[in-house]
Amino acid sequence: MANSKLLREAVVILGAGTQGRRLAYMWSSTGKPVHLVDQQESQLSQGLDHVHQLRTSSSSISTNWGKITTSKPSSLKEELEKAWLAIECVPENFALKQSVISQLDNLAPDQTILASNSSSYVIGEIIENLSLNNPRRVLSAHCYWPPETPAIEIMGYEQTDPSIIDLLVKKSEEHGFTPYRVRKPSVGYIYNRIWAAIKRETLLTLSEGVASPNEIDAIFRDVLKTPKGPCELMDVVGLDVVLDIEKHYAETRKNLPSEPQKYLQDMIDAGNLGVKNSRGFYKYPRE
């Protein structure tokens, strides 16, 4: 199965937002074509501008760029005929993820690999209750912030053909990513679940009155030599987003403590969302 995919050269990316445009940059870095799809014309043009900025920056990762074409979803079938890989990068909404994966499965040739970049929903969850034509060609390919943070976690579910995981690991490495194979289905992949544990324990420590945000961040930076502590990082992500993520972990895993969620909810109810509204664990200047 894996070899026949190489007859097609293009990568199709659905969603030209924060992630989609970065993935377009990465997957076009060996001279191969990328097709970027979005419902919003403005996202497509801003996405192309962003790719241009990355390509012309001093830290550009290639000199052999593939062509990036764009379209609205209406011409998806035609573009998928040329693709060995299609990646969905649409917003983090479960029903939307399901509908986009179904659509890709209906329209793409049987050999085209279908990948989800979702941070919270693993591929097994997304396709549960869907009746796919080829459930063996779907997997999760979760990126961080390429090209600056080129980690990509590649993970199948029980039915994924192992040869497509091998192929995606190899191809992602050739395109400047640092691939990590997630060896079993895992909500939060590898890194995010460890980060979730740090956030959860930080919130529990705060809720017990053991230390202040300042003290937690200071000792974290001091011991681990990281530029930011967990409270500072949660402020950057947004406390509402942190709460949504924690709720999703709590749905999929029993016995997680409820205090971290309550602590976050109280902060949100008091109007503290983090950097985005200038008030979180810390105060920030208004933009």
Ligand X SMILES: NC(=O)c1ccc[n+]([C@@H]2O[C@H](COP(=O)([O-])OP(=O)(O)OC[C@H]3O[C@@H](n4cnc5c(N)ncnc54)[C@H](O)[C@@H]3O)[C@@H](O)[C@H]2O)c1
**By CB under 6 A, what part of segment 135-174 binds ligand X?**
142-143, 145
How far from the centroid of its chain's Cα atoms is residue 204's Cα? 27
3-class DSSP assignment, residue 190? coil
Binding segment (CB under 6 A) for ligand X, from list 15-23, 54-62, 124-132, 273-281: 15-23
Q: Does 91 bind ligand X (CB under 6 A)?
A: yes
CA distance 110 to 117: 20
Q: Does 229 bind ligand X (CB under 6 A)?
A: no
Closest CB to ligand X among residues 192, 272: 192
Is the separation of the CB atoms in 187 and 193 below 8 Å?
yes
Residue 109 tokens read as: 């040739």
The answer to the question of residue 14 lying near ligand X (CB under 6 A) is yes
Using CA atoms, how far apart are residues 202 and 260, in angstroms rounded to an integer? 8
Q: Does 28 bind ligand X (CB under 6 A)?
A: no
Q: Please select the residue that binds ligand X; options are 118, 140, 160, 205, rule is CB under 6 A.
A: 118
Of the two residues 100 and 231, which places its CB atom closer to ligand X in the complex?
100
Binding mask 59-78 vs ligand X (x if CB under 6 A, - otherwise)? --------------x-----
**C-beta of 189 vs 263, nearer to ligand X:** 189
Q: Using the rule CB under 6 A, is 24 a contact of ligand X?
A: no
Check: CB of residue 154 under 8 Å from CB of residue 169. yes
* Angle of CA points 189, 130, 41, to nearest 5°: 75
Tell me the closest approach of the beta carbon of residue 95 to ligand X, in angstroms. Answer: 11
Size of the site for ligand X (CB under 6 A): 24
272 binds ligand X, rule: CB under 6 A: no
H helix or E strand, kind and range, residue 152: strand 149-155
Q: Where are the alpha helices (DSSP H) in 108-176?
A: 123-127, 162-174
Output the smallest distance, CB 275 to ligand X, in A: 14
Q: Please choose, out of 34-42, 157-165, 196-204, 205-213, the segment that lies near ligand X by the rule CB under 6 A.
A: 34-42
CA 139 vs CA 13, 159, 162, 212, 277: distances in Å: 15, 9, 10, 41, 36
Q: How far is the CB of 198 from ligand X (least distance, A)?
A: 18
Q: Cα separation of 143 and 244, whole Å?
A: 19
Among 89, 141, 182, 245, binds ligand X (CB under 6 A): 89
User: Comparing C-alpha atoms, which of 271, 195, 211, 209 is closest to residue 239?
Assistant: 271
Residue 18 binds to ligand X (criterion: CB under 6 A) = yes
Contact predicate 160/154, CB 8 Å: no
Among 28, 70, 119, 140, binds ligand X (CB under 6 A): 119
Residue number with CB closer to ligand X (88 or 161):
88
Q: Where along the sequence are the contacts to ligand X (CB under 6 A)?
A: 14-20, 37-40, 43, 73, 89-92, 100, 117-119, 142-143, 145
